[in-house]
Amino acid sequence: MTLNQLEPQVEFEPLTTPASLAAVRTIAAEIWPQTFAPLLSPEQIPYMMNMMYAPEVMERELESGYHFELLKVDGRPAGYISYSAYEGHPDTAKLHKVYLLAEFHGRGLGQRMLDRAQQRCRELGFKSIMLAVNKGNERAMRAYRRNGFTIAEAVKVPIGGGFFMDDYLMRKAL
pLDDT above 90: residue 157: yes
**Beta bridge partner(s), residue 173:** 128
Instruction: For the beta carbon of residue 108, count every other beta carbon within 10 angstroms.
Output: 11
Residue type at 73? Answer: V
pLDDT above 90: residue 10: yes
In the three-class reduction of DSSP (H, G, I as helix; E, B as strand; rest coil), residue 99 is classed as: strand
Instruction: Give ∠ CA 128-70-110 in degrees, rounded to 5.
Output: 60
Q: What is the mean pLDDT of residues 130-139?
A: 96
**Looking at residue 140, what DSSP letter applies?**
H
Distance, CA of 109 to CA of 38 (rounded, Å) = 23
Pairing of the two strands 150-160 and 128-134: unpaired
Give the closest residue to 98 by CA, choosing from 153, 143, 145: 143
Specify the pLDDT at position 2. Answer: 45
Question: Predicted confidence band at 5 (pLDDT cuts at 50, 70, 90)?
Answer: low
Specify the pLDDT at position 7. Answer: 80
